[in-house]
Amino acid sequence: MIRPGPSGADLLDKLRALSARRAAFEADGACPGDTTIDEVLSASEVVIRGRRTLMLGSNNYLGLTFHPEVRAAAREAVDRYGVGTTGSRAANGTLAIHTALERALAAPFGKRTAIIFTTGYQANLSVIAGLCRAGDVLLVDADSHASIFDAARLSGATTLAFHHNSPEDLARKLARLPSGRRDRLVVVEGVYSVRGDAAPLKEIVAACHEHGAYLMVDEAHSFGAYGARGLGRAESEGILADTDFVVGTFSKALGGVGGFCVSDRSELEGLRFLARSYVFTASGSPATIASVHAALRVIARDPALRARLWANTRRLRAGLEAGGCALEPVESPIVSIPVGDEAAAIALWQRLLEEGIYVNIMVPPACPPDACLLRASGSAAHTPGEIDRAATVIARVVRKTDVTAAD
């Protein structure tokens, strides 16, 4: 039986509500989520609304989007393979460079197999919904990325959210499940994208081992930044061998578009036939695949990139704190400035843009209505002078608007 919607409901009502919300901005005012970058001058500077703007919201952690070797690889791939694959991996979209990149990803992790995906979002969708089905149990951190929750819904598995970064709550929920079964998957992130806090991976591994659960770690914001070889927090915490599935993205430290999963579980190969978001979408373009492969080589041989990233991150945090900004008490490449109220966060974000500083803004549904924040991320490409200028401007604007200033 088809249940009717609310009386007078219209499919477009939710879109009209968003349009009304958008209309609250001045006609010529910048709108969060709808900002056009007119030109990209470098890995650290762009042009927005005709103004040269320092970019502190790109997630371009190692600054590789303008690395000469990475750009050269993209140009060469276009000349050799054309601009697109025009097909899925299962049809005509698997080129030799796709499988070469998979081998190059599996090798440093010491894993048997790797699969690459067209986007990082699809990586989570494919792996989680491909592994899990109705009757299985998914346990996910309550602060997980939208792609993880969307994958859970697509899988049909029973989904339990445990308290953010609480291995104790995870263990309690695992203990309530029937023992002796291997139908459960725990999903966490190495670094969480909103506040930038890191997961207690060693304790989470212990809970998974005790209760017989598989573990997947999403290293989207930690790959390239953590570990002796930049493989992420599973490497830096020494639990790579205990992680069943490591997922990552190309769109952060690697400077491209796409995603991957590496695993010692050879069964992962079955996702090439089971994962709908892998089977039914076009594969990554030759330019993207070649540039990501080149970026991997750069990361492997140049640990100085990570050193510069962390030096710039710490410099930015120190400058903001010295200027009176209250920051989230975490140390990661994501520097979060709590604001609280949505209107205040938007006003602060707009003022910073007018001052030539671009940062990310987190408003609902990315966060609760009273927990809005601004999020800055430096990169290895920023100069100390650029970091100092950004910290000075942000602190001054924050003090002027009387939000998040230290008492």
Q: For residue 395, is pLDDT > 60? A: yes
Tell me: do 251 and 341 sit in the same domain: no
Q: For residue 40, is pLDDT > 50? A: yes
Q: Give bridge partners of residue 336 from the DSSP assignment.
A: 375
- Is residue 61 assigned to a domain? no
Q: Which amino acid is at 351?
A: R
Total of domains in the chain? 2
Domain housing 275: 67-301
Tell me: do 116 and 170 sit in the same domain: yes
Q: Among 275, 301, 327, where does a domain finish?
A: 301
- Is residue 370 assigned to a domain? yes
Tell me: do 161 and 285 sit in the same domain: yes
Q: Among 251, 266, 301, where does a domain finish?
A: 301
- Is residue 15 assigned to a domain? no
Tell me: do 365 and 273 sit in the same domain: no
CATH of the domain at 187: 3.40.640.10
Q: How far is the CA of 384 from the CAs of 63, 255, 256, 357, 392, in angstroms?
A: 14, 21, 25, 15, 12
Q: For residue 27, is pLDDT > 90? A: no
Q: For residue 153, is pLDDT > 80? A: yes
Tell me: do 343 and 241 sit in the same domain: no
Determine the pLDDT at residue 238. 98
Over residues 54-107, the pLDDT tens digits come to 999 999 999 999 999 999 999 999 999 999 999 999 999 999 999 999 999 999
Any idea which of 102-111, 169-178, 238-247, 337-346 has the lowest mean pLDDT? 337-346
- Is residue 14 assigned to a domain? no
Tell me: do 108 and 235 sit in the same domain: yes
Q: For residue 16, is pLDDT > 90? A: no
SS3 content of the chain, % helix, strand, coil (to 5): 40, 15, 40
Over residues 264-275, the pLDDT tens digits come to 999 999 999 999
Share of the chain above pLDDT 70, in %: 95
Tell me: do 80 and 218 sit in the same domain: yes
Segment 204-210 shows an average pLDDT of 98
Tell me: do 334 and 363 sit in the same domain: yes
348's enclosing H/E stretch is helix 342-354
Tell me: do 212 and 313 sit in the same domain: no
Tell me which of 403 and 270 has the higher pLDDT: 270
96: tokens are: 């030799």
pTM of the model: 0.93
